[in-house]
Amino acid sequence: MEIPDMQNQIMGYDRSATMFSPEGHILQAEYAEKAVKLGSANIGIKCSEGVVIVADKGNKDTLIIPESADKIHEIDEHIMASAAGILSDARILINQTRVTAQQHKITYDSPIDIESIIREISDLQQQYTQHPGVRPFGVALMVAGKNGQDCKLYTTEITGNYLEYNATAIGKDDEKIREMLRKEYKKDMTIEQAIKLALNIFKKILGNAFDIQRFNIAFIKNNEKKLNKLKGDEIARFK
């Protein structure tokens, strides 16, 4: 006989990240996934020229300095990351991987491989699902950058899994966005076309709430090892 969710809560199966419910769920991890779904969305697209992330910052107070609310962060000059969910949790993960990237550069005199970064983030997230007295990180990360001769795009999950994508989304309405990407994504598109595709999807998702100034846009080209962030006027031309 299945025990309903309310019964799981009464019996305390949702009080620990290390306790399985009778159905085989870790309820704290599932609650953390719901926190990710409440976060504003990010779209990542790998294209013929490189890789792009378009991140929705949400509606911010006009008194806030826009640069202080950026959602796309530099891990190393060739790697960028954005997050959906509890952004303070994301800051901890991003800061840790920045240290790892710098340690690798000092030790080996070469930039760190992007998969090493995504594995570091995923390992940290996984650890917080199996130790008592802690809660899972309530955040999913999208990590993109230059890897050898090619650019890569990854996302992490609450449980510590990670996958590589041609195009994907994290955060609110991520399933709807991925469905649109499946229909409209093309591998041979340029960076500009990828940015336009992401913004057009956001227009459909957000409707009247769409405002070009609520987005961060960044890209890394295949022929460079450098993060490029678009500023206000550069973003405005995509209106």
Q: What is the pLDDT of residue 10?
A: 46
CA neighbor of 115 nearest in space, from 84, 82, 78, 140 = 78
User: Which of 54-58, 158-162, 228-232 is least confident?
Assistant: 228-232
Residue 203 in contact with residue 210, Cβ under 8 Å? yes
pLDDT in tens, 137-183: 999 999 999 988 889 999 999 999 999 999 999 999 999 999 999 99
- Which tokens sit at 148? 């050898």
CA distance 140 to 159: 10
Asked whether the predicted pLDDT for residue 17 surpasses 80, the reply is: no
pLDDT band at 1 (very low <50, low <70, confident <90, very high): very low
- Which tokens sit at 12? 């305390």
Domain ranges for the chain, please list them.
26-236
What does CATH list as the number for 26-236? 3.60.20.10
- Provide the 10 A C-beta neighbour count for residue 203: 12
pLDDT band at 219 (very low <50, low <70, confident <90, very high): very high
CA distance 235 to 239: 8
pLDDT in tens, 69-85: 899 999 999 999 999 99
